[in-house]
Amino acid sequence: MSGQVPDRSSRLRRVLRGPRPESVPTLVGRACAVVGLLDIAAGVFPRFRHSRMHALAEVLPGSFGPFAAALSLSAGVLLLLLAHGLKRRKRRAWRAAVALLPFGAAAEFLYRHSVAGVVIALALLGLLLAHRKEFAALPDPRSRWRALANFVLMSAGSIALGLVIVSVHARRMVGDPSFADRLTHVVYGLVGVEGPVDYQGNTSWTVAFCLGALGWLTAATTIYLSFRPEHPAARLTEEDEARLRALLAKHGRRDSLGHFALRRDKAVVFSPSGKAAITYRVVSGVMLASGDPIGDVEAWPGAIERFMDVARSHSWTPAVMGCSETGGQVWTRETGLNALELGDEAVVDVADFSLAGRAMRNVRQMVKRIERAGYETRVRRVADLGDAELDRIRRAADAWRGTDTERGFSMALGRIGDPADGDCLIATAHKQDAEPGEFGDLKAILHFVPWGPDGASLDLMRRDRTADPGMNELLIVAALRSAGKFGITRVSLNFAMFRSALARGEKIGAGPVLRAWRRVLVFLSRWFQIESLYKFNAKFQPRWEPRFVVYRASADLPRIGFAAMQAEGFLDLALPLPRVLRRRAAARPCAHALGERTVRAA
């Protein structure tokens, strides 16, 4: 680590204080969730309304008036919707709760004359007002897709809850309606139409009002989300990209993941001096950075402080995926966050690479066999390729992608052949066929991004599924052999998650815990290529550089892991375009400039 990180008077206070506990927002959010569940139970289950718990539920905001069941159900759902926002200190959730609680207190007094209900509503209101400064978080990035997701989820939840409402009154049903009749009654009731199920006495009105309330909530929340102002996710602007490229030109040699900061679906924060920057994306409320900060290490603390300020202002969970040991030390020292080893990056020193020796026998034999089969390789800079060939390579990479979901975030650039990326390397494999395919003689592609002036970092590997096995090994060897003429002395290959656990767990003397952990990783490798990627990297006898995840608390790790899997493309909760439409979009002249997402490891 060149240069010393400057000491600051606030650093020690931040470390000693640690993450700021959000006790009041958490307490209020949990109270709203509990009240919501009780109100839902009071509105749904008739026995609950006449139990001892009813004495408590009756005085909670939302359980009042002659329409107690429907209003209790509505209040419960709304409180549950607000609870998460209050836990995250969201200003809009605070405003909604402050606006609703006085109406709840007034209803308690006017309809039920309940002093206890008024006291509880006003107590919650007073708590919110007294701690109003705690609820200052800004809104998250959002789009119109949120309205569609709300409609689908609320409709499914309303139908499920509606079936419960219809079924709990079985003793008062007229006849014995089938499940289909009950489901039809629920669907009709959500839109305010009488269904085929009938009840004795006033139960029909109770069920009808409850189902109507659920339908109203579904419609109201969907309409609100559809027409509220849109806050699109941040994107890297041309000015930001130019500043990042200037920082990479000076300090890009420090981190092999530095060039991936130029993904255009990331946002960026700069240090006050402008000499350092951190790129990130917000996924499911997690502010996810990757790699080390870009720029002068002396300015890293300023960029980190800005990053944490933005996370705090939006109540996002801060996290860093894949930072180096140096980066982890700075992050933990500056913020009081924790670091956990995530895996290892495989780095090959070009001067030490050779196919000779017993350790390289399998790779050597595979490469010779493929070469005898008539394959040839070419390694070139992107700037040296023509437009027609670049277009063919882009189309082939998209067609050869193994899944419909495009993967990659922390170690993927997200595009191929952009004019601004002329210094990237492309290694291609070719074979002269009697009948050329859609992409001519092209059979496999490897794409590398710069790692400073003398390094390259693997971005993606794609191959024709009809080509002979071993295309990736062939092209990696070709890239390493050709690296010298491009002035490249080191090449970063794939990242192997939990590499040390896999390596140590298979050795003699490994303990039962380590062996059990290795078996779990081998089992997960059926879906996430954990073991196979480690073994593939190990073929080239690399040196292993540890990479870390930085997080605030152990309780945040599941949420961070979920967000990371979303960002990397392993979990796709959005509704993707059909493949045909994606191909049409990619065929437009500017498509590659908008960021075609790719994967670092196929």
Q: How confident is the model at residue 576 (pLDDT cuts 50, 70, 90)?
A: very low
State the chain's mean pLDDT as an integer. Answer: 78
Does residue 18 register a pLDDT over 80?
Answer: no
The pLDDT tens digits for 255-277 are 999 999 999 888 999 999 999 99
At CA 225, angle to CA 224 and CA 231, rounded to 5?
130
Rounded Cα–Cα distance for residues 269 and 236 (Å): 10
Other C-beta atoms closer than 10 Å to the C-beta of 527 total: 8
DSSP-assigned letter for residue 571:
S
The pLDDT tens digits for 283-306 are 888 899 988 999 999 999 999 999
DSSP-assigned letter for residue 252:
T
Residue range 222-229: mean pLDDT, rounded:
71
Name the more confident of 281 and 210. 281
Residue range 24-49: mean pLDDT, rounded:
70
The pLDDT tens digits for 458-496 are 998 898 888 888 899 999 999 999 999 999 999 999 888
Contact 347, 545 (CB under 8 A): yes
Name the more confident of 525 and 602. 525
Whole-number pLDDT of residue 440 = 83
**Which range (362-366, 418-422, 435-439, 596-600) has the least confidence?**
596-600
Name the more confident of 40 and 428. 428
The pLDDT tens digits for 388-415 are 999 999 999 888 876 655 566 778 888 8
Contact 479, 429 (CB under 8 A): no
334-348 burial, b for 16+ CB within 10 Å, e for fewer?
Answer: bbbbbbeebbbbbbb
Residue for token digits 């609703």? 100
Whole-number pLDDT of residue 241 = 92
Q: How confident is the model at residue 194 (pLDDT cuts 50, 70, 90)?
A: confident
Residue for token digits 């939302």? 62
| Chain center to CA of 290 | 12
Torsion angle (degrees, nearest 10) of CA 482, 483, 487, 492: 170
Strand partners, 290: 321
Whole-number pLDDT of residue 87 = 80
The pLDDT tens digits for 352-392 are 999 998 889 999 999 999 988 889 999 999 999 988 999 99
Rounded Cα–Cα distance for residues 158 and 72 (Å): 15
Other C-beta atoms closer than 10 Å to the C-beta of 181 total: 16
Whole-number pLDDT of residue 232 = 57
> Greatest CA separation found in the chain?
91
Whole-number pLDDT of residue 512 = 81
At CA 418, angle to CA 470 and CA 304, rounded to 5?
95
Residue range 88-113: mean pLDDT, rounded:
69
